[in-house]
Structure 1
Amino acid sequence: MISNVSILKNITILYAEDEEALKEITLNILKGFTKKQLVAKNGAEGLELFKQNESEIDLIITDVNMPVMNGLEMIREIKKINPNIPIIVATAFSNTEYLLEAIDIGVDKYVLKPIDMKKLLQLMSQSLLYHELKDLYIDNLTHLPNRNRLKKDLEDSNKDLMAMINIDKFSTINDLFGEHNGDRVLLKFSDTLQKYFNKDKFSIYRVEADKFLVISKEYELDIQEFYDLCKKFEDFIEEDPVCIDEHEIDLNITIGIAKSEDGNAYKYAQRVISYARKKFEPILIYNDSFNIQESFEENIKWIKKIKNGVKNDNFKAYFQPIVDTKTKEIYKYEALVRYIDEDGTVVSPFTFLDIAKKAKLYPNIIKIMINEAFHLIKTKNKRVAVNISFEDIASATTMEYVYKVIEENSEYASSLEFEILESEEISDFSEVFKFIKNMNKYGCNVGVDDFGAGYSNFNMLVNLDINYVKIDGSLIRGINESKNQQIIVKTIDEFAKKFGFKTVAEFVSEEEIYNEVKEIGVDYSQGYYFDAPLSYDEI
């Protein structure tokens, strides 16, 4: 249904493109499928045509790079007038930052140049159907039943056996290869899912962007047999990369399996997949031995320990060296929080940091870390980087404290650096711009941490006035054995150098990884190959 282009015969399109040859070819084809075409040679013309013909226009197709006003600037203005108008962006694959910016604006679809006309017509049909048939129970991209359909179906039976399947860090694929290619990956993943889980025996849903659900139509199916089938699927996905054009894209997935007679299978599947991720298990079956109640009690225990730890000085910074990759000489240290238990045990942040954030106790930790950093700077003349989250930056109370401490230590401020956690979503860039501007006044360098994890936004790097970018450890671990990781890290490094900021590789744990990072040309390196995080006294 979505690929049917007959829906286009009665629509009017606005087409903005400055390249005459491409415009002529595309326009001639569009004339054969659409009722009317309004043509602009730049964004300014396109915007004016839209203002004059808003009630008539059904769909917009636009280039990005155009004179006078580019396509993204035009889209911003048009979205102010009509936020629901379907828009398709045509751009080159190399212009990743434009695709990322288009996502923020709210563009529906993307087509890569040179334009595949068949694909363009399909995207046009999809965009229109998306806006016209919002209440359908079918996922637009994969044609699988969606979350709404799932909710209705779950009402019909309390007895369920299901597996929730999550593509790990899928947003990274969108950021590195473009959303268009991300959609192609999802389609191939969906096709493979349907081949492994026969439709006569299983129902398959796409419940979120990167989450799928497989429900057995036979509740009495042996759960171990179901596990074996899921494991076979997981092995296949992780052993065989998805091929998109000339690109091989490696996928990792996490699967949570649950069975219930009282209507709780979906809830259990959500819980066990979260538990599996925490334990770094690719596939787990939910059962009472996990004792989720026990984990709740552990959370409550840590909330109390964090509160008391702030008062009793249990939190200390440990400092991991960051070295010049070429010389291995220490350039600076990263301050990493540790909890020192009553018996002297040093507890890593993996145990308590997420709990601190969810319990709104994290601002206390950033305050401690800044003071710890200045203590090392002043007493041992070292350069120190401190992690800071967007939540910290957006908090007026936290930032008031940060500025106060920096002001009190202004003569040492140029030795303090901040690493903005890129893996956490930034909802208001104006706050980040303001923070960086203020830090520059004090002479503090600012970098982006964990780049390559989460939703990695190349466009963000260009627009933020940062000094360096730290490449996420997931891309550095095993880089000596993965050609794909080498290509991605080299791309990030070249991109960074093009825009004038340094690069840092974290999780450099062995000589082979160090040699690969050094060959790529990453400026600085950090990891256990050089040294573990050190206490103040050990430095």
Structure 2
Amino acid sequence: MKLSFKLILTVILGLSALSALFLFKSFSNRYFVHRNAIELSFKEIETAHKRLDYQILHNTFFLYTNQDDVNRKIALIDRKIDALLRNPHIADGHPETLGQLRTHAEAFDVKVQAIYDFQTVNTVIKNSTAAILALQNRLFALKAANAAEQELFREISRISGAILLAKNGMDAQLIASLNASITSLSKNRLNDPLKNDLLERSIAHFRVIEEYFPRYVRHLEEINDPQVIRSLHRSNETFLNESDSELQLINYFSYLLVALFIISIGLITFFLIRSEKEARRDPLTRLRNRKAYEEKIRHASRKLSLILININKFKHYNDFYGVQEGDRLLIETARRIKTMGFAGNHVSYYRLGADDFGILFEESPLLPLEEAAKSVLHLFPREPIVIDGEVRTPSITVAASNIAPLLENADMALKSKQQHNPIFYHEGLNLRQVIEENVTKAKELREALEEDRVIPYFQPIVALSSGMAAKHEVLARIVMKDGEVRSIYPYLHVAKESRLYNPLSRIIISKSFAIIASRTGNFSINLSIDDIENNETVELITQLLEKHEGIGKRIIFEILESEAIERYEGTLEFIAHVRRYGCRIAIDDFGSGYSNFARILNLAVDIIKIDGSLIRHLDNDSKAVTIVQTIVNFTRAASIETVAEFVHNEAVAQIVRSLGIDAAQGFYFYEPSPLPLSPE
């Protein structure tokens, strides 16, 4: 967007601010109408609460009541609360008030339930109270036949009076204290059948009062809970507070509109001009960004060359040290790159991606592209990056191109997986051929899936203590049309890019379970983060675990270390899910990156499979031995089983045993086969 257009846009914004000033009055009028209506609704709800409480109190003392009045008052409050909850002014502009109103509605629902419960209990209490008085009058009218009956009548009178006193005073403890007296009274029998009947009926009603009175008191306390009306008051107060903030906002906004019209043109113009410069700078490293690079290429009048620098496994570094430390490494890397002076070559420096940097310059006979790229590569080992006293020099890969389009070609060279470093783009890299090979592999894989030519193979894992096969790892294989069996590994990248990975994975899982169910022993199945995060795959695993009862105790799911750490929360959730079926968890390729021991401990894994890149060099690399020994010490302290991968000769096998690793696999022991080994 051209600067002149942005300036015109700024003027339009200023005029818009003036127009908004005229709309302000209309908005204010509507606002106050809504505000006053809501305030009135709060007062009406409070009044309705008081009338409902009065009705409940009335029902407490009077024998005959109209329950319909109570129901009508409840319905009125419900309607008014619901109207406030659905009021757009509250729903859209007062989130705290809305939350408080919902709290009040919930409290009122509790109160309503208490009212219904109270009405039931109150009816029982009233009926029994009235019955007690009537029975007492009939009993006393018959007169006591002797002193014992006279004392019995006095006890009945005392209990009746205590019940009336407790009811008026809401004294549940007094009712409870009558239990012994009522029990004692129930042991008496009168000779006169009529008197005895009146006595027993009185005792029965005493028991009813004794049973229901605690509920009567509890429900009445719930009805009179001051928190209900307090929650309404809080809702009202919150609305007033939010409204006051809105009023202040309205006042400030009116002043702002006037000020905005005056200063908008100058202020916004200043920021637009500044943003034009900032838009071409990376905010973290202060190097020029991708936009600046593209403009430089577009307007270049001379032939340029590009050196592309990539920090290897920067994601692992971020996971290990944290994002903040990762940012510091990027800043230091950018600073180091800027120190490379290609004198007289019109050099400019760029951050072209998350962990990609670029140096754009004009080649000269004194500094050809090859020499420049090598000097960049050798810069970092020669002058290490030190952060907080610790050497953090990153491993980098350098790609270079002087053939347009520079960035696209350099990036293709970077991703071509060439073994040498730096990598120079040229037509001989056959990148187009690589693309054609990927297309062919995608076709082969799709046809294999359609024709059911993807099958599981099984490689034994040997317990080093006994030398016997302790379990098997499931591996995927493709049977070609000519009968050749190929490893799935060269096809995995293509499978993920062509959306064939999930169907492939589910086929292998299904076929593996079918074979495992018919065999004994333990089996490892490899899963990627794509499997763990795919609902269909997880559902299939769940169905198979439930279909084959007890099979989970023989299943080990292997998860790549880098993926387990990168998608930690999702991995943790999956592990918890399959552990319910007795499954165990192994971390695959451990030691291939910035191993995060704390995260691995939190995952509570059962097995760690040490990466083959370490194991295969144990017989000629002392550093690899040290790293593996460190991993073994860690796992032994954490009671985690270890498995060495890619054991390919006797020398490596002996070292693996001496390091105390529990189990191993590789072509030295067994090659993969279509079926597991039979138990010996």
Asked if these proteins are the same fold (TM beyond 0.5), I'd say: yes
Q: Hey, what's the Cα distance between the residues in 1 that align with 2:371 and 2:361?
A: 14
CA contact (8 A) 1:325 1:523 kept: yes
Residue pair 2:474, 2:526 contacting (<8 A) in 1 also? yes
**Structure 1: stretches of 5+ with no match in the other structure:** 1-132
Match of 2:468 in 1: 329
- Give the whole-Å Cα distance in 2 for the aligned partners of 1:239 and 1:315: 50
Larger CA deviation: 497-506 vs 393-402 = 497-506
Q: Decide whether aligned partners of structure 1 residues 307 and 146 sit closer, same or farther in structure 2, where only a CA change above 3 A counts.
A: same
SS of aligned partner of 2:281: coil
Distance (Å, rounded) in 2 between the aligned partners of 1:182 and 1:428: 18
Among residues 149, 152, 157, which one is paired with 2:300 in the alignment? Answer: 157
1:356 and 2:356 are equivalent in the alignment: no
Picking from 397, 406, 410, the partner of 1:269 is: 410
Equivalent residue number for residue 507 of structure 2: 368
Residue 388 of structure 1, CA deviation:
0.9
Cα separation, partners in 2 of 1:269 and 1:432, compared to 1, 3 Å: same
Partners in 1 of 2:623 and 2:386 — Cα distance?
A: 12
> Shift of residue 242 of structure 1?
7.2
CA deviation after TM superposition for structure 1 residue 483, in Å: 4.9
Q: Pairwise mapping of residues 69-88 of structure 1 onto structure 2 (< 5 A)?
A: none
How well do the aligned residues superpose, as a CA RMSD in angstroms?
A: 3.8
**Alignment map for 1:276-425 (pairs within 5 Å):** 277=417, 279-424=418-563
Q: Is 1:257 matched up with 2:396?
A: no
- In 1, the alpha carbon distance for the partners of 2:645 and 2:278 equals 44
- Change over 3 Å in CA distance of 1:372–1:230 after alignment to 2: same
Shift of residue 352, structure 1, vs aligned partner: 1.1
- Do 1:138 and 1:146's aligned partners in 2 also have CA atoms closer than 8 Å? yes
SS at match of 1:405: helix
Per-residue CA deviations over 1:425-454 (Å, capped at 9, x if unaligned) read 777655433322232222211122223345
CA, structure 1 residues 516+298, in 2 after alignment: closer, same or farther (shift >3 Å)?
same
SS of equivalent to 1:529: coil
C-alpha distance after superposition, 1:246-265 (max 9, x if no partner): 9777865433222234xx11
**How much does 1:354 deviate?**
0.9
Q: Is the 8 A contact 1:171 1:455 kept in 2?
A: no
As a proportion of its length, which structure holds more helix? 2
How many residue pairs match? The answer is 400
Instruction: Specify the alignment match of 1:230 in structure 2.
Output: 373
SS, match of residue 424 in structure 1: helix
- SS of the residue corresponding to residue 338 of structure 1 reads strand
Q: Please state if 1:198 is matched with 2:337.
A: no
Q: Which residue number in structure 2 is paired with residue 214 of structure 1? A: 359
The 8 Å contact of residues 390 and 426 in structure 1, kept in 2 or not, is answered as no
SS of 2:478's equivalent? strand
Tell me: CA distance 1:521–1:147, structure 2 relative to 1, closer, same or farther (3 Å).
farther
Match of 1:48? none
The C-alpha deviation readout for 1:270-325, integer Å capped at 9, x for no partner, is 111111x2x44434322334444443333333323222211222112222232334
Q: What's the offset of the Cα at 1:340? A: 1.5
Contact 2:462 2:469 in 1 (8 A): yes
Residues 194 and 427 (structure 1 numbering): CA distance in 2 closer, same or farther, change over 3 Å?
closer
Spell out, residue by residue over 1:151-187, the C-alpha distance to the aligned partner (whole angstroms, 9 max, x if none).
4433432743212222322444455566777677667
In 2, Cα distance between equivalents of 1:329 and 1:240: 51
Structure 1 contact 452–471 (Cα < 8 Å) conserved? yes
The question of whether the paired residues in 2 share the 8 Å contact of 1:238 and 1:253 is answered with no
Aligned counterparts of 1:266 and 1:285: Cα–Cα separation in 2: 12
What is the CA distance between 1:387 and its match in structure 2?
A: 0.9
Counterpart residue number, 1:169: 313
Task: Return closer, same or farther for 1:334/1:233 CA change in 2, 3 Å cut-off.
Answer: farther
Whole-angstrom CA distance in 2 between matches of 1:514 and 1:194: 48
1:176-230 deviation per Cα after TM superposition (whole angstroms, max 9, x unaligned): 5667776776677667656666364343434344333232323x6699x422443
How far off its partner does 1:346 sit?
Answer: 2.4
Give me the whole-angstrom Cα distance separating, in 2, the residues matched to 1:241 and 1:341. Answer: 50
**Partners of 2:319 and 2:566 within 8 A in 1:** no
Which one-letter code corresponds to 1:269 in the other structure?
A: A
TM-score normalized by the length of structure 2: 0.51
Instruction: Tell me the SS of whatever aligns to 1:392.
Output: helix
For residues 482 and 248 of structure 1, the distance between their equivalents in structure 2, rounded to whole angstroms, comes to 22
Structure 2 distance, partners of 1:378, 1:345, is 27
- Deviation sequence 1:370-396 (CA, Å, 0-9, x none): 234334434443421111122212222
SS in 2 for 1:351: helix
Contact kept, 8 Å, 2:565 with 2:596, in 1: the verdict is no
Counterpart-to-counterpart distance in 2, 1:252 and 1:321 = 36
Which of 510, 528, 533 in structure 1 is aligned with 2:667? 528
Secondary structure of 1:531 counterpart:
coil
TM-score (norm 1): 0.63
Alignment of 1:440 with 2:579, yes or no, is yes
Q: Distance in 1 between matches of 2:645 and 2:402?
A: 40
Q: State the Cα deviation string for residues 39-90 of structure 1 (Å, max 9, x = none).
A: xxxxxxxxxxxxxxxxxxxxxxxxxxxxxxxxxxxxxxxxxxxxxxxxxxxx
Q: Identity of paired residues, percent?
A: 30
> Counterpart of 2:603 in structure 1: which amino acid?
L
Rounded to whole Å, the distance in 2 between the matches of 1:517 and 1:248 is 31
Structure with bigger gyration radius = 2
C-alpha separation between the residues in 2 aligned to 1:455 and 1:417? Answer: 24
User: For the Cα contact (< 8 Å) 1:248–1:484, is it kept in 2?
Assistant: no
Amino acid at match of 1:271: M
- The within-5 A match list for 1:480-491 is 480-491=619-630
Question: Which digits, 9 at most, give the CA deviation of each residue in 1:127-168, with x for residues without a partner?
Answer: xxxxxx986725645x64444543443343274321222232
Q: Is the 8 A contact 1:373 1:416 kept in 2?
A: no
Does structure 1 residue 137 correspond to structure 2 residue 281? yes
Partner amino acid, structure 2, of 1:161: S
Give the 3 Å change call, closer, same or farther, for CA 499–148 of structure 1 in structure 2: farther
Contact 1:477 1:507 in 2 (8 A): yes
Within 2, Cα distance between the matches of 1:515 and 1:228?
45
Alpha-carbon distance in structure 1 between the residues aligned to 2:618 and 2:465: 18
Q: Give the match's secondary structure for 1:313.
A: coil
d(CA) in 2 for partners of 1:445, 1:197:
56
How far did residue 481 of structure 1 move? 4.5
Contact preservation (8 Å) 1:317, 1:535: yes
Residue correspondence of structure 1 range 447-466 to structure 2 within 5 A: 447-453=586-592, 456-466=595-605
> Displacement, 1:348?
2.4
Query: Residues 91-110 of structure 1 correspond to what in structure 2 (within 5 A)?
Result: none
- Most deviating of 298-307 and 329-338: 298-307
Deviation at 1:419, TM superposition (A): 0.8
Q: 1:208 to 1:366 in 2, by over 3 A?
A: same
Which amino acid in structure 1 is aligned with residue 358 of structure 2?
L
Cα–Cα, structure 1 residues 501 and 135, in superposed 2: closer, same or farther, change >3 Å? farther
| Cα pair 1:452 1:472 within 8 Å, conserved | yes
User: 1:412: Cα distance to partner?
Assistant: 3.0
Give how far 1:266 is off: 0.4
Mapped contact 2:564–2:571 kept (Cα < 8 A): no
- Gap change, CA 1:411 and 1:462, over 3 Å in 2: closer
- Per the alignment, residue 9 of structure 2 pairs with none
Instruction: Judge conservation of contact 2:460–2:676 (CA < 8 Å) in 1.
Output: no
Helix, strand or coil for the counterpart of 2:461? Answer: strand
